[in-house]
Amino acid sequence: MFLVIIGFASPSQAHWADLAVAEINIGDTQTAITLTLPTGLVALADDNRDGKITTLEVEKHQVELANFLHSRVRFRDTTKQNPTLQVTSTTPPANLQATSTHTTLQLNYTWQQPPKNLKIHYDLFVPDAPAAHCLATIYHAGKVENVIFNPRSREFSLSPNSKWQFTASFAAIIAALFWGAVHAMSPGHGKTLVGAYLVGSRATPKHAVFLGLTTTLTHTIGVFTLGLLTLFASRYIVAESLYPWLNLISGVIVIVIGVNLLIRRLSHTHHHHHHHHEHEHEHEHHLHHHHHLPSENTPITWSSLIALGISGGIVPCPSAMVLLLSAIATGHIAFGLILVLSFSLGLAGVLTTIGLLLVYCKNRFEKLPKTNRFFRFVPIASAICICLIGVGISLQAFIQTQT
3-state SS, residue 140: strand
Most confident of 104-108, 178-182, 322-326, 348-352: 104-108
**Is pLDDT larger for residue 48 or for residue 12?**
48
C-alpha distances in angstroms, 168 versus 124, 183, 201, 335?
20, 22, 45, 12
Give 288's DSSP letter.
S
Instruction: Please state, rounded to an integer, the average pLDDT across all residues of the chain.
Output: 73
Average pLDDT in the 93-108 region? 73
pLDDT of 70 over the 90 cut? yes
pLDDT for the residue numbered 276: 46
**Is pLDDT larger for residue 131 or for residue 86?**
86
C-alpha 320/C-alpha 243 separation (Å) is 14
pLDDT for the residue numbered 351: 78
**Is pLDDT larger for residue 124 or for residue 403?**
124
pLDDT of 199 over the 70 cut? no
3-state SS, residue 397: helix
**Is pLDDT larger for residue 399 or for residue 166?**
399
pLDDT for the residue numbered 279: 45
pLDDT for the residue numbered 11: 43
How many residues are present in the chain? 403
Give 239's DSSP letter.
G
pLDDT for the residue numbered 4: 31
Q: Which of 20-24, 130-134, 240-244 has the lowest mean pLDDT?
A: 240-244
3-state SS, residue 285: coil
> Which of these, 302, 317, 340, lies nearest to 175 by C-alpha position?
340
Q: What percent of the chain has pLDDT over 70?
A: 63
Full-model pTM: 0.49
pLDDT for the residue numbered 68: 95
pLDDT of 377 over the 60 cut? yes
Question: Given pLDDT bands bounded at 50, 70 and 90, which one contains residue 280?
Answer: very low
- What is the tens place of the pLDDT at every residue in 319-339? 677 667 666 665 667 777 788
pLDDT for the residue numbered 20: 87
Average pLDDT in the 182-204 region? 58
Question: Given pLDDT bands bounded at 50, 70 and 90, which one contains residue 108?
Answer: very high
pLDDT for the residue numbered 364: 67
pLDDT for the residue numbered 393: 73
Residue type, 185: M
Average pLDDT in the 64-87 region? 92
**Is pLDDT larger for residue 312 or for residue 262?**
262
> Which of these, 327, 346, 347, 345, lies nearest to 337 by C-alpha position?
327
pLDDT of 144 over the 80 cut? yes
- What is the tens place of the pLDDT at every residue in 23-50? 999 998 999 999 999 888 999 999 988 8
- Assign 3-state DSSP to the chain and report helix, strand, coil percentages, each to 5: 55, 15, 30
C-alpha 5/C-alpha 267 separation (Å) is 28
Cross-strand pairs, 144: 139
Q: Which of 114-118, 287-291, 305-309, 317-321 has the lowest mean pLDDT?
A: 287-291
Average pLDDT in the 204-220 region? 80
pLDDT of 110 over the 90 cut? yes
Question: Given pLDDT bands bounded at 50, 70 and 90, which one contains residue 13?
Answer: very low
